[in-house]
Amino acid sequence: MSGDKIAGEWKQLRGKVKQKWGDLTDNDLDRTEGKMEELEGLIQEKYGSTKDEIRKQLDSLKS
């Protein structure tokens, strides 16, 4: 997968993440740099969900 395609997919997912988890700031998302494990941890920290729940929700946003 090309770097441009990955960057484009991250931008799309980032927008969906901000809609679903509105307390996340641009700075929060910048810190994760598109790394899914870091994003999961950040959401878990702010919302208290389990990583499995978060992963399922993120996977549904990617589809």
Written out in words, the top-level CATH class of the domain with range 3-62 is mainly alpha
The pTM of this model reads: 0.82
Q: How many residues does the chain have?
A: 63
What does each C-alpha distance from 62 to 17, 36, 42 come to in angstroms? 10, 12, 18
Structure tokens at 26: 């641009």
Q: Return d(Cα 45, Cα 14) in angstroms, integer.
A: 17
Type of residue found at 28: D
Q: Return d(Cα 56, Cα 28) in angstroms, integer.
A: 20
Instruction: Express each pLDDT in 7-43 by its tens digit.
Output: 778 888 999 999 999 999 999 999 998 899 999 999 9
